[in-house]
Structure 1
Amino acid sequence: MTLSPLTAISPIDGRYRRTTEELAAYFSEYALIKYRVFIEVEYFIALCESGIPQLKHFDGSLNKKLRGIYADFDLEDAQWIKDKEKETNHDVKAVEYFLKDRFEALGLTKSLEFIHFGLTSQDINNTAIPYAWKEALSKIYLPALKALITALEQRATEWNDIPMLARTHGQPASPTRLGKEIRVFTERLTNQVQLLEHLPHAAKFGGATGNFNAHRVAYPDMDWITFGNDFVNSTLGLNRSQTTTQIEHYDYFAAQCDAMKRINTILIDLCRDIWTYISMDYFKQKITAGQIGSSAMPHKVNPIDFENAEGNLGIANALLEHLAAKLPVSRLQRDLTDSTVLRNTGVPMAHALIAIKSAARGLQKLILNEAALRNDLEQNWAVVAEAIQTILRREGYPKPYEALKALTRTNEAVTQDTIAAFVETLNVNEEIKTELKSITPWNYTGI
């Protein structure tokens, strides 16, 4: 079958293609090839500027044309490389041959052997992949996540003064405010985003086993460590790992995976809470004409956006867990297991993106049912017991906790009248009694 959203094996490129297609520019096979071409070209330009005698004749006049190779890179170019890979059975070597072909077209025949000079394929992969990951994080993932946080903060502000019964262990507890409970998640997410953004994007660049062996033997008087640092840190905007094997050790990447896992876990917590509030009728959902909630029950409007988000966040976390656990482990100076795993770095980000967009969509559908929140509070006057016994403690009243416990821990309903009658039995002055009677489930919400 011809590959299409209908025939794709993964729902990322199938059912959810419209949601995730913007990530193709960073994580597709085409994207990986293009980023490799980008690294190779910029490396060649850096060599020309390094003072190598054989490249001194390059004055930068051709840099625009050289950079045009990756700036104008298209699917036809990528296919040229894939066809060459069938001959070489080596993906990075095919990129090298592509560039030699393009350099020859520019009349640079004498400089062909300085393409990929002294490098191993992982010098290209371990800069191209973190570069693409960094770009996708900053341009796609983080903007979507921050937009969700902003939408949550807007709802938190809108619902700031809405009193709500809290539930601890699933049981009625001291009242809170709906806006504050939403803001719990905006604070958690904001803190974790800050941690994620502060993690370096590490890259490996140092030859076959990380020691610049080939570079050093060819040009022993050059400071190759400084060259590598300048190229990776300044030109590419990454952080060069100083002591490596053939590959990047992926410790910072693993930390990024762990940071994303925490973000996803917080989002799962959010989705489950909102799902529960919907089931409690605290929220209604906007109805879209023509849409169906159940094939059998016509009345249903299901919280599918939050369920979809939760499911995709779980898949993302399972993959992030594997990436974080597997990539930092490699036999001796290198084995190949990281290669196929790295090709999946975009998959958990795609599932997270699906979830973020789904949660944002669900948030827009919520309609506050304030009557249900108020009714829940009205049915649970027992929650003011904490307030009453605390004031009695303040006044030095004997055993106030025990008195309220006896009043409230029964199977009989505790109402406003029950509380008022209890207050009248207390041996306190009228001012204190008035203070106690003024406490209600909807004004006992704290700061």
Structure 2
Amino acid sequence: MIDRYTIGEIGEIFSDESRMTAWLEVELLTVEALATLGKIPSEDAILVRRLAPKIDRAFVDEVGAREAITNHDLAAFVDVVQSHIGVSAASWVHYGLTSSDVVDTALSVILVKAGKAISGQVRGAILALYNKAVEYQDTVMAGRTHGMHAEPTTFGNKLALFCLALNRDYERLERAISGISVGKLSGAVGTYSNIDPEVEKIVCGALGLTPTPATQVIARDRHAEYVYALTSMAATIETIATEIRHLARTELGEAQEYFQPGQKGSSAMPHKRNPILSERLVGLSRVMRGYLISSLEDIALWHERDISHSSVERVIMPDASILAYYMANKLTSLISGLVVDEVAMKRNLDNSFGLVFSQSLLLAIVDSGRTRDDAYRIVQGAAARAIKERRHLRLVLEDEASVQLDESVLDAAFDAHRIIANASLTLKEASKIPLVRNEFQ
């Protein structure tokens, strides 16, 4: 991933040094497990651990130079590790293993670490959404369907729904992390032909992984599930960002991104305060969906394995993880700094001449004894006149001789606070999120 979107700890997790450190730990733990089981001398295992090389940039470059000869990265790695150890005990490194034993198990270690880092960012975004939902739980605004005014809602209700959606993504990610928390050290086709199954148990246990039956590689549905969890989260972030982009439009002006001192919205037009972060998040979500397709196509491999998945994963696993971390981090900033214009929300709600109360009016007329179809046609006609005459729906209806409703009935029908009386149930549901409950209660 380009530096522009690589922030915090996530970049280091996918560095060459991190990857080879994970490889080395799998190799060293395997040697130690062999010693524990009495397969090799215990003093050899101690020596291998003591003389193991430090994984730094110089070591990575040395492996790269060796790979130019072997044309195989793991084989080059093993060669360089053994040469650094420099004693006969180095021969136990990679004993009984195939490359995927090391690479796949190490990849699981890295993805678990990355997943947990991303989870931390998602938790921050969930709390930011909940905080904002509480702040605006009573702020009435126009609810919109098909882009048109529908009925009143609250901004807090909208944010609470986003909070619940992102929490579902958080739970998906936690399940995906559990699904990828597996390792295998079972040899060339997964039959433990030259390695004791107990070695796998010991090594995986030390790494915090669960041994899993496999061919030469761990089944890629686990990796696809991980990428799906990230992509689903990105889609939720896109939903939130799209909403903010709409609310920020000049015609609405109900919410906008925080505009920091010195910021410029346009190189040509000084008045512009564009929703650039929201637009960026929408764009990055499109990238994430591409990674998901690639991860799904990685599931089907030939027989016990081929390496068609390997080149794909070298790109998509780091990039998807880095982008997910970035997006969750920036969503927190977006929501925390969101500028909300409650006056504009009320103004826009009033600009539809009371049409947002049409269903309440329809039901009031039905309650008075008219058929539903009669009531519908009466309100529909009154609504059309309200738009044409630019008069409030209540005033238009009061001119309708065929409808006689008490003032108290009309007051109730056009009472926005009555309509949103139960909107707080969504926020109450969000307050049950374990993360929220632990933080605020």
Name the TM tier (shorter chain): 0.7 to 0.9
Per the TM alignment, residue 204 of structure 1 is displaced from its structure 2 partner at its CA by 3.3
Match for residue 116 of structure 2?
A: 138
1:90 aligned residue (55, 62, 72): 72
Match for residue 228 of structure 1?
A: 200
Matches within 5 A, 1:117-156: 117-139=95-117, 141-156=118-133
Give the letter aligned to residue 242 of structure 2.
R
Match for residue 380 of structure 2?
A: 405
**Is the 1:327–1:338 Cα contact (8 Å) retained in structure 2?**
yes
Match for residue 266 of structure 1?
A: 236
Alpha-carbon distance between aligned partners in 2 of 1:161 and 1:379, rounded to the nearest angstrom: 20
**Is the 2:364–2:409 Cα contact (8 Å) retained in structure 1?**
no
1:207 aligned residue (174, 182, 187): 187
**Is the 2:32–2:42 Cα contact (8 Å) retained in structure 1?**
no
Per the TM alignment, residue 226 of structure 1 is displaced from its structure 2 partner at its CA by 4.2
Alpha-carbon distance between aligned partners in 1 of 2:359 and 2:52, rounded to the nearest angstrom: 71
Match for residue 219 of structure 1?
A: none
Alpha-carbon distance between aligned partners in 1 of 2:76 and 2:258, rounded to the nearest angstrom: 53
2:2 aligned residue (13, 25, 30): 13
Matches within 5 A, 1:377-416: 377-380=349-352, 381-394=354-367, 396-399=369-372, 400-410=375-385, 411-412=387-388, 413-415=390-392
Give the letter aligned to residue 411 of structure 2.
K
Summarize deviations over 1:266-299 as a string: whole Å, max 9, x none: 1111111111011120024443232211121110
Alpha-carbon distance between aligned partners in 2 of 1:167 and 1:68, rounded to the nearest angstrom: 66
1:241 aligned residue (206, 209, 212): 212
Alpha-carbon distance between aligned partners in 2 of 1:309 and 1:47, rounded to the nearest angstrom: 49
Query: Is residue 28 from structure 1 mapped to residue 15 from structure 2 by the alignment?
Result: yes
- RCO (CA 8 Å, sep 6+): is it higher in 1 or 2? 2
Alpha-carbon distance between aligned partners in 2 of 1:46 and 1:424, rounded to the nearest angstrom: 91
Q: Counterpart of 1:176 in 2: which secondary structure?
A: strand
Q: Counterpart of 1:96 in 2: which secondary structure?
A: helix
1:43 aligned residue (5, 24, 30): 30
Match for residue 301 of structure 1?
A: 273
Alpha-carbon distance between aligned partners in 2 of 1:88 and 1:368, rounded to the nearest angstrom: 60
Query: Is residue 55 from structure 1 mapped to residue 25 from structure 2 by the alignment?
Result: no
Matches within 5 A, 1:352-363: 352-363=324-335
Task: Identify if the C-alpha distance between structure 1 residues 183 and 329 changes in structure 2 by more than 3 Å, giving closer, same or farther.
Answer: same
Alpha-carbon distance between aligned partners in 1 of 2:24 and 2:301, rounded to the nearest angstrom: 26
Per the TM alignment, residue 406 of structure 1 is displaced from its structure 2 partner at its CA by 2.5
Summarize deviations over 1:102-150 as a string: whole Å, max 9, x none: 434xxxx3432221111111101111112101101102x1111221121
2:49 aligned residue (66, 74, 81): 66
Query: Is residue 81 from structure 1 mapped to residue 63 from structure 2 by the alignment?
Result: yes
Give the letter aligned to residue 355 of structure 2.
A
Match for residue 322 of structure 2?
A: 350
**Structure 1 length as normaliser, TM-score?**
0.84
Alpha-carbon distance between aligned partners in 1 of 2:71 and 2:9, rounded to the nearest angstrom: 29
Give the letter aligned to residue 118 of structure 1.
G
Alpha-carbon distance between aligned partners in 1 of 2:366 and 2:209, rounded to the nearest angstrom: 60
Give the letter aligned to residue 383 of structure 2.
T
Give the letter aligned to residue 337 of structure 1.
S
Give the letter aligned to residue 239 of structure 1.
T
Give the letter aligned to residue 9 of structure 2.
E
Alpha-carbon distance between aligned partners in 2 of 1:164 and 1:260, rounded to the nearest angstrom: 31
Same amino acid, percent of matched pairs: 22
Q: Counterpart of 2:151 in 1: which secondary structure?
A: strand
Alpha-carbon distance between aligned partners in 1 of 2:126 and 2:175, rounded to the nearest angstrom: 18
Query: Is residue 340 from structure 1 mapped to residue 311 from structure 2 by the alignment?
Result: yes
**Is the 1:13–1:20 Cα contact (8 Å) retained in structure 2?**
no
Per the TM alignment, residue 355 of structure 1 is displaced from its structure 2 partner at its CA by 2.7
Match for residue 435 of structure 2?
A: none
Alpha-carbon distance between aligned partners in 2 of 1:75 and 1:264, rounded to the nearest angstrom: 33
Alpha-carbon distance between aligned partners in 1 of 2:343 and 2:410, rounded to the nearest angstrom: 25
Match for residue 431 of structure 2?
A: none
- Structure 1 unaligned segments of length 5 or more: list them: 1-11, 216-223
Equivalenced residue count is: 410
2:227 aligned residue (257, 274, 277): 257
Summarize deviations over 1:154-184 as a string: whole Å, max 9, x none: 1111111100101111111011110111111
Task: Identify if the C-alpha distance between structure 1 residues 126 and 367 changes in structure 2 by more than 3 Å, giving closer, same or farther.
Answer: same
Alpha-carbon distance between aligned partners in 1 of 2:305 and 2:421, rounded to the nearest angstrom: 58
Alpha-carbon distance between aligned partners in 2 of 1:34 and 1:253, rounded to the nearest angstrom: 21
Alpha-carbon distance between aligned partners in 1 of 2:41 and 2:116, rounded to the nearest angstrom: 35
Task: Identify if the C-alpha distance between structure 1 residues 422 and 129 changes in structure 2 by more than 3 Å, giving closer, same or farther.
Answer: farther
Alpha-carbon distance between aligned partners in 2 of 1:333 and 1:440, rounded to the nearest angstrom: 68
Alpha-carbon distance between aligned partners in 2 of 1:285 and 1:214, rounded to the nearest angstrom: 60
**Is the 1:377–1:442 Cα contact (8 Å) retained in structure 2?**
no
**Is the 1:309–1:354 Cα contact (8 Å) retained in structure 2?**
no
Match for residue 322 of structure 1?
A: 294
Per the TM alignment, residue 39 of structure 1 is displaced from its structure 2 partner at its CA by 1.1
Alpha-carbon distance between aligned partners in 1 of 2:275 and 2:135, rounded to the nearest angstrom: 21
**Is the 1:80–1:98 Cα contact (8 Å) retained in structure 2?**
yes
Summarize deviations over 1:209-262 as a string: whole Å, max 9, x none: 1111123xxxxxxxx334423432x222223321x3222221111112122221
**Is the 1:423–1:437 Cα contact (8 Å) retained in structure 2?**
no
- Structure 2 unaligned segments of length 5 or more: list them: 423-441
